[in-house]
Amino acid sequence: MLPAIIESVPLAPLTTLGLGGAARFFAEITDAAELGPGLAWAQEKHLPAFILGGGSNLIVADEGFPGLVLRMRTRGRRWLDERGETRVEVEAGEDWDDVVADSVTRDAAGIECLSGIPGSAGAAPVQNIGAYGQEIASAIRSVRVLDRESLEVRELAPDACGFGYRDSNFKREPDRHVILSITLALVPGGAPSLRYAELVAALSRSPSLADVRQAVLALRRRKSMVLDESDPNRRSAGSFFTNPVVGADLAALLPEDAPRFPLADGRSKLAAAWLIEHAGLPKGFRMGPVGISSQHALALVHHGGGATADLLRLARHVHKTVLARFGISLVPEPVLLGLRWD
C-alpha cells in the first residue's frame, strides 16, 4: 500500500534545531507495510529516499532534500516476560523516552540511564545512543529491518549490527536497511546501572530504577539536554560532537586535569566538552543567530532567525579551534542531510 506522498514539505519544523529547507516529496509511514512501496516509488523515479525519525539528531541543508523523505510514525510496544527476562518489541516510530518510562514503571532494568534522550526508538540503534555509562546496544536482543534493495524483512542479531561508540552498521551504511522495530532484553527487578560518578553523586544509597530515571532527567535538564519549550537552549541536536577516542601518546600530551577514560584496548576516551571550553570557547559563546549552549559546551544552539549555513560555520570554527589547541579532530555526531562535513 503506497503511503500518501505530498510535495514541498518544510523539514525545519520536524527537527529540534528548526533549521533546513524542504523535502521535494514527503510521506508519513504509519504502517510498516507502506514502507516498501514508498521506497519502490522513489526507486522508480530515480529519487534518493531518506528515513526520518524524531528529528533530534538531524541537520538539514538550507537547500532541503531533492528526494523522498519517509517519516516513521509506526506505533506499538509488545511486552513479554519469560525465563527471568523481560522483552519488549518496540515499533520504530515510538517515542524513545516513553519506552524508558514504561520499562521503569514495569521495574525492568537495562535502559533507565537513557532517560530523556529525544528521538524515536527506531533511530536509537543507529547512533547506539548512550548516557551515564549505559548504551542501548547492551539491551538490544534483535533489530527487525527492511532491506532497501530487496525490500525483504530481516531480523538482525546484535553482532550483525556492528555496534560501537555512538556508531553502528546502520549509521555507516545508511542506504542498506530501514529499522522497523527493535527488541530489547531487560532484567525484571534488576538493579539500576550506576557506572557514572556524576549520577552516583546525585543519588541516595540503594536507589530504585525510578530514582535513577528522575536523577538522569534532572541532570539532563540542568544541561539543557531535555526538550523544553521554555529553555533558551532548546533548539539543538544534543551533543554535536562525539567524545574523541585517542591513543595513549596523544592523551599523554593533554594537561593533567583533562578528563580521560581509559579503554580496554589501551586508548582513552576524552571529554569533548572539556576540550571545547579549554580551547577558549566558553558556554554561551555566540556567532550571530547560533552559539554554544549556555549550559553545556557540547551542544550547538540555534537561537532563532538563522540558517544551517550559520550552524555549520560555528561547528567548523569549534573544530578548527580545538584542533589548533590540542591536535584533536572532533567528529560531528548528528546526521547531515544534503551536507558534507569534510
Q: What is the pLDDT of residue 241?
A: 97
Q: Can you tell me the distance from the alpha carbon of 63 to that of 12, in angstroms, rounded to the nearest whole number?
A: 11
Set 166, 220, 235, 260: catalytic member: 166
- Assigned CATH for 6-72: 3.30.43.10
Q: What is the pLDDT of residue 82?
A: 84
CATH topology of domain 77-222: 3.30.465
Among 118, 150, 66, 112, residue whose Cα is nearest residue 239: 118
What's CA 77's distance to the chain center, in Å?
20
Q: Which three cell numbers stand for residue 179?
A: 529499522
Q: What is the pLDDT of residue 342?
A: 81
Tens digit of pLDDT for each residue in 134-179?
999 999 999 999 999 999 999 999 999 999 999 999 999 999 999 9
Q: Which three cell numbers stand for residue 134?
A: 549505559
Is residue 239 part of the annotated active site? The answer reads yes
Q: Is the pLDDT of residue 181 over 90?
A: yes
**Under a CB-based contact definition with an 8 Å cutoff, are residues 291 and 300 in contact?**
yes
Set 34, 91, 135, 333: catalytic member: 333
Q: Is the pLDDT of residue 204 over 90?
A: no
Q: What is the pLDDT of residue 250?
A: 94
Q: What is the pLDDT of residue 84?
A: 87
Residue 35: partners with Cβ closer than 8 Å, 6 or more residues away? 29, 70, 146, 178, 180
Is residue 166 part of the annotated active site? The answer reads yes
Residue 310: partners with Cβ closer than 8 Å, 6 or more residues away? 287, 288, 289, 290, 302
Q: What is the pLDDT of residue 280?
A: 98
Residue 263: partners with Cβ closer than 8 Å, 6 or more residues away? 245, 269
Among 5, 117, 12, 120, residue whose Cα is nearest residue 69: 5
**Under a CB-based contact definition with an 8 Å cutoff, are residues 31 and 250 in contact?**
no
Which SS3 state, helix, strand or coil, does residue 311 take?
helix
Q: What is the pLDDT of residue 114?
A: 98
Tens digit of pLDDT for each residue in 80-120?
998 889 999 999 999 999 999 999 999 999 999 999 999 99
CATH topology of domain 236-337: 3.90.78
Please give the average per-residue pLDDT across 194-221, as a whole number.
94
Please give the average per-residue pLDDT across 198-221, as a whole number.
94
Q: Delimit the domains of the chain by residue range.
A: 6-72, 77-222, 236-337
CA distances from 140 to 105, 157, 158, 185 (A): 19, 8, 7, 6
Average pLDDT value for the chain: 96
Tens digit of pLDDT for each residue in 39-78?
999 999 999 999 999 999 999 999 999 999 999 999 999 9
Name the residue type at position 24. Answer: R
**Under a CB-based contact definition with an 8 Å cutoff, are residues 295 and 224 in contact?**
yes
Q: Which of 186-190, 247-251, 287-291, 309-313 comes out lowest in average pLDDT?
A: 247-251
Q: Can you tell me the distance from the alpha carbon of 84 to that of 104, in angstroms, rounded to the nearest whole number?
A: 17
CA distances from 319 to 69, 228, 324 (A): 30, 28, 9
Q: What is the pLDDT of residue 45?
A: 97
Percent of the chain residues past pLDDT 70, beyond the cut: 100
Set 239, 260, 268, 293: catalytic member: 239
Q: What is the pLDDT of residue 229?
A: 87
Q: What is the pLDDT of residue 291?
A: 98
Q: Which three cell numbers stand for residue 207?
A: 536507589
Question: Are 6-72 and 77-222 in the same CATH fold?
Answer: no
**Under a CB-based contact definition with an 8 Å cutoff, are residues 17 and 199 in contact?**
no
